[in-house]
Structure 1
Amino acid sequence: MNNTDPTSFQSILAGVQKLREENGGNESQPQIQKPPANKAQINVPPTNEGKQHVINSFNQQRPSFQYDNTNNQQNGKRQRQDQGLGKTVLVNTTQKENPLLDNLKNTNWRYVTSKGGSKIYYDYLIKGRSVLFLTLSYHKLYADYITRRMAPLSKDDNNILIFVVDGTNSEEAINDITKMCMFNGFTFLVAFNFEQAAKYIEYLNAA
């Protein structure tokens, strides 16, 4: 009769010992396969999953996208048309006696005049920019002239004043006119003869 308690740890050890004696001490132990000692030796096939491409200053790539080029084509066509119209400088007929026109040889220009209720406030119109003309001698005679001429154009900040220094003692006048241009949206261009003034117009029309 077996008086061992099958639930006690001593009974389990006695059972194991008995099995070993019955098998002559040659009981084969289960072989447990151990993992490789060095995990770095495991060959893992390369994969592109989760791979991050390094972008630096030498290989920067802009994201590609599709867009509708219709508006760009229309804008380009409109721009070419505007440039074609702007090739001719419009000259107010009030400038007919201006010596500047004798030096305006490298650009196309034509006279325009005020008609009916359509008043022309510029002296020259260059690619949509209103240009006023003034000389030092005239400014000394009529100091309020340029103020009145600027007033109707001051709502736009893309205007130009060409000022010809045709006399001496111009510093005070230039300082005053500079302030007028700043507060009325005018770019102030100073010339020291009529030929230089004409060059300004040619450059503005060619730019």
Structure 2
Amino acid sequence: MNNTDPTSFQSILAGVKKLREQKGDISSQPPAQAPVDTSSTKESSTVQERQQPRRVINSFNQQRPPSGSTDNEQGTKRPYQNQGPGKTVLVNTTQKENPLLDKLKNTNWRYVSSKGGTKIYYDYLVKGRSVLFLTLSYHKLYSDYITRRMAPFSGEEDDILIFVVDDSNSEESITDITKMCMFSGFTLLVAFNFEQAAKYIEYLNSA
């Protein structure tokens, strides 16, 4: 007499074992998987990438990647500094107290100074272009300063003057500075704060 309860867990296991022995345990083999066609998936993702507009990040729109963004799968943060000696802005040590340097965040730079018989005439050297710096308030105190600073340059129209308007009644002074730049071969860039002046240098260094 079979006293095994057909509803017990042991009875169920015994029945499953007996069926596997009879069928050679065929049911235990995993079914073969059909090959997956990835061509349509790749094509769909490519179309989506083309449809998504790319954000342009530059020195003037002041857009920045979010703080948690990464540049690759390893989680390396996107570097803001330009790399390589050709991308390093040279800063005359006479500019150490210039508030512009505190705003210069997105560009590599280092100090240089006149040594021996080598005289440095620029305030900033950006990719081979000499840049002078002047504020309106200083120009009102020393009107002949910028004339003396421009004198050593060749006038090849490759030099730049960044002029920060930090005082009122600027129209006459800007007119005078514009004339000086025209006759001395300088390109005039007018800024209305030190942050904008720093953006000029960043843009020149990235161009």
TM-score over 0.5 for the pair: yes
Q: Which digits, 9 at most, give the CA deviation of each residue in 1:21-77, with x for residues without a partner?
A: xxxxxxxxxxxxxxxxxxxxxxxxxxxxxxxxxxxxxxxxxxxxxxxxxxxxxxxxx
1:94, 1:101 → 2: CA distance? 12
Deviations 1:75-98 (A, max 9, x none): xxxxxxxx9432000000000000
Q: Deviations over 1:103-136 (max 9, x none)?
A: 0010000000000100000000000000000000
What is the CA distance between 1:199 and its match in structure 2?
0.3
Task: Name the CA distance, whole Å, in 2 between partners of 1:185 and 1:86.
Answer: 24
Larger radius of gyration: 1
Share of identical aligned residues, percent?
85
Between the aligned partners of 1:134 and 1:141, the Cα distance in structure 2 is 12
Equivalent runs, 1:39-118 vs 2, <5 Å: 84-118=84-118
d(CA) in 2 for partners of 1:154, 1:179 = 17
Matched, 1:163 2:160: no
- Partner amino acid for 2:201? I
Aligned length: 125
Q: Which amino acid aligns with 1:146?
A: I
User: Shift of residue 171 of structure 1?
Assistant: 0.5
Q: How does 1:1-207 map to 2 (within 5 A)?
A: 84-207=84-207
What is the CA-CA distance between 1:156 and the residue it aligns to?
3.0
With normalisation by structure 2, the TM-score equals 0.59
**In 2, distance between residues paired with 1:113 and 1:173?**
30
Local SS of the residue matching 2:152: helix
Deviation per residue, 1:161-186 (Å, 9 max, x gap): 00000010000000001000001110
- The residue number in structure 2 matching 1:46 is none
| Aligned 8 A contact 2:91 2:124 in 1 | yes
Instruction: List 4+ stretches of structure 1 deviating above 3 A.
Output: none
SS at match of 1:132: strand
Superposition RMSD on alpha carbons, in Å? 1.1
Tell me the distance in 2 between the aligned counterparts of 1:154 and 1:177. 18
- Equivalent-residue separation in structure 2 for 1:178 and 1:155 (angstroms): 14
Residues 98, 163 of structure 1: alpha-carbon distance in 2 compared, 3 angstrom cutoff: same
TM-score normalised by L of structure 1: 0.59
**Alignment partners' CA distance in 2, 1:129 and 1:179:** 20
Q: CA deviation at 1:155?
A: 3.7
